[in-house]
Amino acid sequence: MSAVIFLIPIALFLGGLGLVAFLWSLKSGQYEDLEGAAHRILTDDETPEEEDDDHDTETERN
């Protein structure tokens, strides 16, 4: 019984954290373009600004 006293709040808190995280991701628009997100991992937009032009022309040639 005594274990239950602190285990239940912990379990509920962790569950609630999951719920809040989901609601946050919904609100920040992460589910708006699921297909696009799958394709965007193929593009490397981490490239520095000055290399951006080269990168663009490369995609056009494809």
Partner 1 sequence: MSCCAPGAETAAELVTAPEADDETLFAASKELKDGTRQIDLALPDIHCAACINTVEGALNKLDMVENARVNLSTKRVRIAYRPGAGRPSALTAAITAKGYRSFLLDPAADQAGDRTLTSLTRALAVAGFAAGNIMLFSVSIWSGADAVTRDLFHWISALIAIPAVAYAGQPFFTSAWRALKHGALNMDVPISLAVILALLLSLFETINGGAHAYFDAAVSLLFFLLIGRTLDYMMREKARGAVRNLARLAPRTALRVFEDGHREQVPVDDIAQGMQLEIAAGERVPVDATIISGVSDADLSLVTGESVPERVGPGAALLAGTTNLSGTLSVSATKPAADSFLARMIALMEAAEGSKAGYKRIADRAAAIYAPAVHLLALATFLGWGFIGGNWHTATLNAIAVLIITCPCALALAVPIVHVVASGRLFERGIMLKDGAALERLAEITRIAFDKTGTLTRGKPVMTGQAFGDPALFDQAAALAATSRHPFSKALSARYAGLAATDATEVPGMGVEAKDNGHVWRLGRAAFCSAETQKLDAEGSIVWLSRNGEPVAAFSFTDQVRPEAPAVINTLKARGFAVSLLSGDRAGPVKALARNTGIADARAGLTPEDKLETLTTFTTEGEKVVMVGDGLNDAPALMAAHVSMAPSSAADIGRNAADFIYTRDSLEAVPFALDLARRAARAVKQNFGLAIAYNCVAVPLAVSGHVTPLVAALAMSSSSVLVTLNALRLRFGGAPLPVPTQPSAPETARPVPAE
- When asked if residue 7 is in the footprint of partner 1 (CB under 8 A), the reply is no
- When asked if residue 12 is in the footprint of partner 1 (CB under 8 A), the reply is yes
Q: Is the dihedral of CA 24, 36, 38, 40 positive or negative?
A: negative
Q: Which of 34, 52, 32 is nearest to 43 (CA)?
A: 52
C-alpha to C-alpha distance for 34 and 37, rounded to whole angstroms: 5
Considering only residues 14 to 33 of the shown chain, the ones binding partner 1 according to CB under 8 A are: 15-16, 18-19, 22-23, 26-27, 31-33
Binding site for partner 1 (CB under 8 A): 1, 4, 8, 11-12, 15-16, 18-19, 22-23, 26-27, 31-36, 39-40, 42-43, 52, 56, 59-62
